[in-house]
Structure 1
Amino acid sequence: MLFRKRGGDGARALREELRRPGVVLVPGVFNALTALMAQSLGFKAVYVSGAAVTASMALPDLGLITMDEMVKTVKYIVDAVDIPVIVDIDTGYGEALNVMRAVREFEAVGAAGVQIEDQVMPKKCGHLSGKALIPPDEMAKKIRAAVEARRNPDFVIIARTDAVGVMGFEDAVERAQLYLEVGADVIFPEALRSEEEFREFARRVKAPLLANMTEFGVSPLIPAKKLEEWGYKFVIFPVTALRVAMYAVREVFRTILEEGTQAVWLDKMFTRRELYELIRYYDYEKLDSEIAKAVDNTYNKLKEGGHGPRN
């Protein structure tokens, strides 16, 4: 069956990944189709990036997306894939009680975990200047609220701190320790500025860690194998797919505008067959045919026995 998923599978799978050795590469996705592509290639989880989803709506990453908009996007993604879906919920859409509601909403649509950050609203991209943080105890309340709100104990709470670029490295370490004490499962130190900071953070904070390998930011692009050696569990690539996709869209549109045809791009395209196979087009056709055949057989048997429906 195409619609065979059971609630809670993603959270359990993500929790199992936390217990296993080895690093997990997590690509950023912004819709169901990109998530399905990631799954088809063998990724073990996907990350729904707030920045990527917001950009796909032609909006800046300034906390403009609403919880309802993000929940709807995540539901489409969860319905499309069987691998765990991690969701970036920015600052949690408000204070502690708002975070509780957010956790319930995302858990209800099948997310495996959420990431909450300690910026003030309106938040900014973690790799830009001008960020401001809420006090560590206020963030701790949000994390504790998230832990209390989850129905499934496997649901993963990821605490992100942006303190390195605002208050300094030591403050980031202290915040991470506090966030772990109140129940965070994973720590995400945002915008570390050097390999040495990545190594030192992992040495000082003994917990599952998430590294952000976003492009064009303040962090160096470090191979996942090296991050694994230092102690990082997850490596995310939050906006990579969106950036590459937009580059391709720009170039093909430019060709069409200048040449009036897309012909030179055919060998660079995802073919019709490839798209249909990815979205399981033929499986849907088969299912539709099987349902119609089963009903027709039942209907015809009833008619032959004189028990057909009256007009």
Structure 2
Amino acid sequence: MPSLKQRLAQPEILIAPGVFDMISVKIADSLGFEAHYMTGYGTVASHLGLPDAGLATYSDMVSRVSAFTTASKVPLIADGDTGYGGLLNVEHTVRGYERAGAAAIQIEDQEFPKKCGHTPGRRVVPLEDMLRKIRVAVETRDSQDFLIVARTDARTSLGLDEALRRGEAFAEAGADVLFIESPESVEEMERVCRSFDQPLLANMVEGGRTPVLSGTELQALGYSLAIFPALGFLAAGSALREAYGALLNTGDSRRYSGELYDFMDFSRLMGFEAVWDFERRHAEDKKS
């Protein structure tokens, strides 16, 4: 299997679904995606039941990175927020995420407390502050295959010109992948792609500020990587609300009209076959 760095060097766009808990990781992994994206919004919501507003700590998130990479066979791109503090925190975060098995860490230029990139009220730090974080991240990593994804949220508050200026500076500081958050039209996305030669990330959030395009359309624009961070938890939330609502209203799970994952197939997905095999082998030992 190629490393994330090697895969991004290929001409075909890389599609990464957002994973937010162990079930989503195992399902995505079973379907054959080439990479996964640990969504901060979904992971904080699933793990802590809180909004993605700077409330999760480094310890909260690095434990999720470790769990997700253990359950997956493909590279994980992990949201690292703002690095969880100052420059020393960025160093600690990069080391921790790399040790936990992530293939890349995403660091953004928002002021603390940060917010989800498609919600209002986001403000960015001075450019030089973010450049220091990128330089520390690049200096800290042990392997050149551990990628630094640098995200700017400047488009919403300061305009696209400033976002592009920051992206250029991020590249000069050593970022491997550029993430210009929240362009608001296809024309803006085209301009982003014309402005850079290195890998670009497109963030496809259903209901967000950026038009949602297909992988084919994004590749034609010039993107190398597309993440779909919200699709999984929005789909799961809708299905749970419908299923639980049917149970509440009727007292009968059979009245739920949606599709259910087959119980035995789900048990196999969770690894029960290894448990069954273990029990069979040791039952035979007891007989002998």
Tell me which interval the TM-score lies in, with the shorter structure as reference length.
over 0.9
Residue of structure 1 in register with 2:27 after alignment:
37
CA–CA distance in structure 1, aligned partners of residues 284 and 254 of structure 2: 44
Residue of structure 1 in register with 2:9 after alignment:
19
Instruction: Tell me the CA shift for residue 278 of structure 1.
Output: 1.4
Instruction: Tell me the CA shift for residue 267 of structure 1.
Output: 6.2
Instruction: Tell me the CA shift for residue 129 of structure 1.
Output: 2.3
Residue of structure 1 in register with 2:266 after alignment:
275
Question: Is 1:260 the counterpart of 2:240 in the alignment?
Answer: no
1:282-293 alignment runs, 5 A limit: 282-287=273-278, 289-290=280-281, 292=282
Q: Secondary structure at the match of 2:101?
A: coil
Question: Is 1:55 the counterpart of 2:66 in the alignment?
Answer: no
Question: Is 1:227 the counterpart of 2:218 in the alignment?
Answer: yes
Instruction: Tell me the CA shift for residue 257 of structure 1.
Output: 0.9
Q: Secondary structure at the match of 1:187?
A: strand
Q: 1:102 aligns with which of 93, 105, 130?
A: 93
Name the CA shift for 1:107/1:295 in 2 (closer, same or farther; >3 Å).
farther
Q: What code does the residue aligned with 1:85 have?
A: L
Q: Secondary structure at the match of 2:233?
A: helix
* Bigger mean CA deviation after superposition, 266-275 or 107-116: 266-275
Indicate conservation of the 8 Å contact 2:156/2:182, yes or no.
yes
Residue of structure 2 in register with 1:66 after alignment:
57
Aligned length: 287
Q: Secondary structure at the match of 1:47?
A: strand
Indicate conservation of the 8 Å contact 2:152/2:179, yes or no.
yes
Q: Secondary structure at the match of 1:232?
A: coil
Q: Secondary structure at the match of 1:59?
A: coil
Aligned Cα root-mean-square deviation (Å)? 1.8
Residue of structure 2 in register with 1:308 after alignment:
none
Using the size of structure 1 for normalisation, the TM-score is 0.88
Q: Secondary structure at the match of 2:16?
A: strand
Residue of structure 2 in register with 1:116 after alignment:
107
CA–CA distance in structure 2, aligned partners of residues 243 and 15 of structure 1: 29
Q: Which has the larger radius of gyration?
A: 1
Instruction: Tell me the CA shift for residue 266 of structure 1.
Output: 7.2
Runs of 4+ in 1 over 3 A off after TM superposition: 287-290, 292-297
Name the CA shift for 1:269/1:160 in 2 (closer, same or farther; >3 Å).
same
Question: Is 1:165 the counterpart of 2:165 in the alignment?
Answer: no
Residue of structure 1 in register with 2:133 after alignment:
142
Residue of structure 2 in register with 1:249 after alignment:
240
Using the size of structure 2 for normalisation, the TM-score is 0.95
| % same residue | 38
Q: What code does the residue aligned with 2:115 have?
A: K
Q: What code does the residue aligned with 1:17 have?
A: R
Instruction: Tell me the CA shift for residue 273 of structure 1.
Output: 1.3
Q: Secondary structure at the match of 1:184?
A: coil
Q: What code does the residue aligned with 1:25 have?
A: I
CA–CA distance in structure 1, aligned partners of residues 225 and 82 of structure 2: 20
- Structure 2: 5+ residue stretches without partners: none
Q: Secondary structure at the match of 2:178?
A: strand
- Residues 248-303 of structure 1 show CA distances to partners (whole Å, capped at 9, x for unaligned) of 1111111111100111337611111110221231133324554x489879xx8xxx
